[in-house]
Structure 1
């Protein structure tokens, strides 16, 4: 495996391509400094924006594209393709009689009182779902052999349907994948070049609907992601640009281009997972184990909970109501960002989001044709953003246009003046942000008052103290370069691949040999994958976890088991105790006398990449207090102090209301809050002890 060699190519770059901006963090081994850069995303071809950002950063920070030895790449390409339905034309091959699993789904009704509920999406229509005669039993034994004669007819039907990708999900293939592999080989031989995804590789777990949905998503994404990777690879060689490239996965680890091309469903939370990595790192650096991390960018607001310095991993998520049965960082996402559009509906109700102006045309203030006011326009209209210092002064904002849009599109419809309409937009926005945080904590039985709020993303700092005050949180952490923090987290990522094997096993002494055998098999396969990626044995780590439940339950909890290799009675007892404790914390009860089952064993194969060791940035040699700016606060226009984040020193004390500016973010320090520099250059705001404004 190619690794980061600072003596040969000293630049390591992490990039997070979002819906509005492409964020970069650049580590220069020559100076040990980390630099942040931001450039608009180019949705038609994100590689254009990526290369443009790299070129701008190279010119700004004094390196060449040939100096880049490692590129760690987070992207929303897979997510956006699903949301916008820019997917390949797919064909599903399944066991005869089970062609309708995708439509039957789980019969979950989100609007239980709706007379005409919106059906769950089905990505492959009925005429492109093909049944094949075969049958595996739940124990993996063959009931009906695969009909070899029918295979040729199946290939002809696939060819006639003009499919661009094929998904294969056969009944009980998690127990025995032999038939899926035979089908994939036959289709591949007969129709070379046609991508085939099988559930035994993508999601080899029980539950037919979730396994089928995940495999179908993966298959339909293969041509989309491969096309992007092809465009990216064609750029290698331009101006000496030839780094080792790894893509960020939903689990917070990175993978090779080969893995990304074969299993693009693992990229669905690619960019946001970097924020969780960064939050966990900052929690450890600050000695604050419990943080609620919020990432507010241009289009979305992501909430993740850090406990004991670690983020949570879940084994199933969803995107646009489609289940994805793959490990991913746990986060809650709502459509609320700087580009979220404010409007008044037919009933006279003010709403903000989830519609977003995105990168094109963007907020009204961008001057790119946007007509509808956004959250960014609102903060600008109230004086919280400097129109001449947006993105560090590289982009001018049109304040009169933003104010006019708010007055015309919101104020006039509600009978409110400009300032009152703008304050209403912020109130609705902050209420939505607070609700997402509450739900993320309450569902785990956690109290917001026990947490500090870590605020990042380009828009997060303008809302953090107001949202924290609403939740009863008394401390807000603004990390360095918050506008590119997800890219910062990616900078420290490791290679990671997830493996899973579903097998029902009681957690008891009589099953210890079977459990140990399953763990050993998983570890052997995980080690082989790391070897295939070129990871040296000394850089390999394999962590085991188990999906567990009480006998008779229909859901499981993911319980980490560490680097266990040969479980004994004590290790099994510890695993059971951890399950009971987690169940009690999550649901307020536990039944230690009830039988406990392992449903699925999991392994995470981790290949440690060489980590950068950033130096400590010195304060800029200029006054920390920039001056004052007229801003609307507390029902009146006031002259508020404006501080320069990069020039702050340990002795600087900021009393709210105040504004703190840096190149790619602005922070609002609300009334009743004060802020000082803490460890690792973090700006830490605390609320007055009485919780009231002075």
Structure 2
């Protein structure tokens, strides 16, 4: 049996599946004060509900917001930083405009400082760009730094020395001296965290890991000590799993753990039903995460951000919008209404939770419009529509709007914000959303998916059998993965093919060793080579996969040609023949395939003409009046069942909206496939304003 848990900002979702495909699921309120307890409570709950009561799970899988929460709140212990002489203000300098035609960056305020300037120490040692030692490490100088850090109460020290990506010798000498003199200090080396070009990003990544390492090790240890399984894996931002042992040393890799898991799960499920081009709409309590999946593969980026900090390691390429079910509606100084990014969170939550919340949220609007039932979580959470209605009436009073009018306004604003997020990952990157299906996942994704698809002329919406459990399902189907990088820094004409091949083989050796330590068998191992490329002087690279085992001048030339084509596809032009192409980094992705848990099969009544549980009045996007709508229990809809809008389909962890002139059909494995009816083929018809 495998148990997967995703601890989100508002709810904790958990799924257990045994080798026979039998599963149990649960959704619990998250207690942000103790995420370890949330994880363990979720495991206990789902195991108690599973048919195989008393069976010890073979694996525990974890999607976590622990690292991200710490970065967002700056809730971590003080750390130290060791750099080369003359680079003490490296974090302050970051990337600023350069005179004389250089790239202008630094268009926004720098992120908050992670290491106080008084805790940044300098070393005289120096390497050249090719790794040649110019000034050796002075052991006495390092010993003095170790003593000073130990006496100051610092417990983690980041070490980021110039050109350590070319040769980590100086950083490793520093670490060895610290181990002898101050073994109680955690020393984190940039050559271990991000051995790639760009001093600022490499130093920042090292500091972020240093900030998180003590907290993460404590968090993971607390779970591991009490977890009812010997195999404990965490989801990483790249969409791969890592053991607790490996992740504990690189905690920043889990910062987008839950959202990445949901994308992985959507890609796998889409492939199972023959839909390989899709856009995920993952709406939770605090945010909306959107990602594009093309030909069954989700995109990765090395130009992402984590809590406002640039992050150069591979992560699932998704756009996060601060608008979710708990997002607060407010009037800005310009007198416009906005939804988010501030959220009511799990405590106190929306006004309708009756837990002391006093600011109107998107969930309150859904409830007043009849789009949500009077209770969530299978009846465990009763919603107070009276409280929500009074608050919305007060919120809309200045604009002469009643409660329903205010709720419609909030719904429209949030939906159009989400529409912009979908365009960010599609239109702005050279993809027409009309050619993609929209996957509505998360607790609130199905509430918005069909109406959002209509705005974007997307003809197919897929709502999985358990949309609120997309992240746990992604954990179930994810593989073990790690990315290895080595700086190259050569223009195409100056590339040494032999050096490139040696670099790849070295990275592949590291990859195989890592997977063996993770418990992978040799037959499950895959190694994928790639090169980061850019036009000379540009800030961001494009990663180009390689297919050939041997590296030849022809292979390099073909890769550069692929770079030109991809740049032109996404940007509308290329600089072929004008600008030199730089081969910045070599990359190897090491993957070990895991056995996939059986896909949970939908069970239900055999009637293909389902009867609604009730009829109630429901508000829909761009409809002035509430419409009489049939309400169905999703568990009562068998494969082949068809539901015509306007309708609402409810289940324990999510609610699906079927707008007027749309139809939802249950496929063979329980997905809801929502498409416009014949009269609605050309987009959103019957819009009433």
Query: Structure 2 vs 1, CA of residues 155 and 507 (structure 1 numbering), >3 Å: closer, same or farther?
Result: same
Alignment partner, residue 249 of structure 2? 262
- Residue 429 (structure 1) aligned with residue 414 (structure 2): yes
CA distance in 1, matches of 2:598, 2:172: 45
- Residue 79 (structure 1) aligned with residue 68 (structure 2): yes
Alignment partner, residue 399 of structure 1? 385
CA distance in 2, matches of 1:59, 1:26: 10
Structure 1 residue 498: Cα displacement: 1.2
Alignment partner, residue 444 of structure 2? 459
Shifted more, 491-500 versus 464-473: the winner is: 464-473
Structure 1 residue 508: Cα displacement: 5.9
Query: Structure 2 vs 1, CA of residues 626 and 500 (structure 1 numbering), >3 Å: closer, same or farther?
Result: same
Q: Is contact 2:606–2:638 with CA below 8 Å preserved after alignment? A: no
CA distance in 1, matches of 2:180, 2:303: 33
Alignment partner, residue 653 of structure 1? 642
- Residue 601 (structure 1) aligned with residue 592 (structure 2): no
Q: Is contact 1:66–1:242 with CA below 8 Å preserved after alignment? A: no
**Is the partner of 2:305 in helix, strand or coil?**
strand
Structure 1 residue 160: Cα displacement: 3.1
Q: Is contact 1:12–1:70 with CA below 8 Å preserved after alignment? A: yes
Structure 1 residue 540: Cα displacement: 1.4
Alignment partner, residue 689 of structure 1? 681
Alignment partner, residue 477 of structure 2? 492
1:54 to 31, 39, 43: 43
1:63 to 52, 64, 70: 52
Q: Is contact 1:348–1:414 with CA below 8 Å preserved after alignment? A: no
Alignment partner, residue 12 of structure 2? 22
Shifted more, 100-109 versus 262-271: the winner is: 100-109
2:401 to 416, 420, 424: 416
* TM-score for both structures, normalised by structure 1: 0.93
Shifted more, 98-107 versus 610-619: the winner is: 610-619
Q: Is contact 2:124–2:137 with CA below 8 Å preserved after alignment? A: yes
Structure 1 residue 311: Cα displacement: 0.2
Query: Structure 2 vs 1, CA of residues 632 and 617 (structure 1 numbering), >3 Å: closer, same or farther?
Result: closer
CA distance in 2, matches of 1:360, 1:108: 42
Structure 1 residue 560: Cα displacement: 1.7
Structure 1 residue 440: Cα displacement: 1.6
Alignment partner, residue 589 of structure 1? 573
CA distance in 2, matches of 1:234, 1:613: 29
CA distance in 2, matches of 1:265, 1:108: 28
CA distance in 2, matches of 1:107, 1:595: 24
Structure 1 residue 280: Cα displacement: 1.1
Query: Structure 2 vs 1, CA of residues 352 and 97 (structure 1 numbering), >3 Å: closer, same or farther?
Result: same
Structure 1 residue 507: Cα displacement: 4.1
CA distance in 1, matches of 2:81, 2:596: 42
Counterparts of 1:50-449 in structure 2, within 5 Å, are: 50-64=39-53, 66-107=55-96, 118-236=109-227, 241-388=228-375, 390-408=376-394, 410-449=395-434
**Is the partner of 2:43 in helix, strand or coil?**
helix
CA distance in 1, matches of 2:681, 2:15: 37
Q: C-alpha deviations, 1:512-566, integer Å up to 9, x for none?
A: 222211111111111121222232211211111110123444431011224x432
**Is the partner of 2:515 in helix, strand or coil?**
helix
Q: C-alpha deviations, 1:598-634, integer Å up to 9, x for none?
A: 2101111112222222353322468552221232342
Q: Is contact 2:68–2:307 with CA below 8 Å preserved after alignment? A: no
Query: Structure 2 vs 1, CA of residues 547 and 117 (structure 1 numbering), >3 Å: closer, same or farther?
Result: closer
* TM-score for both structures, normalised by structure 2: 0.94
**Is the partner of 1:453 in helix, strand or coil?**
strand
Shifted more, 417-426 versus 241-250: the winner is: 241-250
Structure 1 residue 126: Cα displacement: 0.8
- Residue 618 (structure 1) aligned with residue 603 (structure 2): yes
Q: C-alpha deviations, 1:346-403, integer Å up to 9, x for none?
A: 4432111000011111111112211111111110111111113x12222211111111
CA distance in 2, matches of 1:535, 1:448: 38
2:560 to 567, 576, 600: 576
CA distance in 2, matches of 1:199, 1:542: 24
Q: C-alpha deviations, 1:648-683, integer Å up to 9, x for none?
A: 234322222211111110011112221112353211
Q: Is contact 1:15–1:72 with CA below 8 Å preserved after alignment? A: yes
CA distance in 2, matches of 1:621, 1:276: 32
**Is the partner of 1:370 in helix, strand or coil?**
coil
CA distance in 2, matches of 1:570, 1:35: 53
CA distance in 1, matches of 2:446, 2:97: 37
CA distance in 1, matches of 2:26, 2:33: 21
Structure 1 residue 57: Cα displacement: 1.5
Counterparts of 1:523-538 in structure 2, within 5 Å, are: 523-538=508-523
- Residue 550 (structure 1) aligned with residue 535 (structure 2): yes
CA distance in 2, matches of 1:653, 1:332: 33
CA distance in 2, matches of 1:315, 1:611: 28
CA distance in 2, matches of 1:627, 1:84: 45
CA distance in 2, matches of 1:543, 1:495: 14
Structure 1 residue 116: Cα displacement: 12
Q: Is contact 2:243–2:518 with CA below 8 Å preserved after alignment? A: yes
Query: Structure 2 vs 1, CA of residues 484 and 134 (structure 1 numbering), >3 Å: closer, same or farther?
Result: same
Unaligned runs of 5+ in 1: 1-10
Query: Structure 2 vs 1, CA of residues 571 and 117 (structure 1 numbering), >3 Å: closer, same or farther?
Result: closer
How many pairs were matched up?
A: 673
Q: C-alpha deviations, 1:192-213, integer Å up to 9, x for none?
A: 2221111000001110111111
CA distance in 1, matches of 2:42, 2:127: 51
Structure 1 residue 511: Cα displacement: 2.7
Shifted more, 657-666 versus 151-160: the winner is: 151-160
CA distance in 2, matches of 1:692, 1:120: 42
**Is the partner of 2:598 in helix, strand or coil?**
coil
Alignment partner, residue 3 of structure 1? none
Query: Structure 2 vs 1, CA of residues 295 and 71 (structure 1 numbering), >3 Å: closer, same or farther?
Result: same
Alpha-carbon RMSD: 2.2
**Is the partner of 1:205 in helix, strand or coil?**
coil
**Is the partner of 1:491 in helix, strand or coil?**
helix
Query: Structure 2 vs 1, CA of residues 309 and 117 (structure 1 numbering), >3 Å: closer, same or farther?
Result: closer
CA distance in 1, matches of 2:594, 2:219: 25
CA distance in 2, matches of 1:617, 1:509: 58
CA distance in 1, matches of 2:417, 2:61: 32
Shifted more, 528-537 versus 197-206: the winner is: 528-537
CA distance in 1, matches of 2:666, 2:636: 11
Q: Is contact 1:478–1:683 with CA below 8 Å preserved after alignment? A: yes
Structure 1 residue 251: Cα displacement: 0.6
Query: Structure 2 vs 1, CA of residues 651 and 230 (structure 1 numbering), >3 Å: closer, same or farther?
Result: closer
Query: Structure 2 vs 1, CA of residues 261 and 565 (structure 1 numbering), >3 Å: closer, same or farther?
Result: same
CA distance in 2, matches of 1:508, 1:214: 31
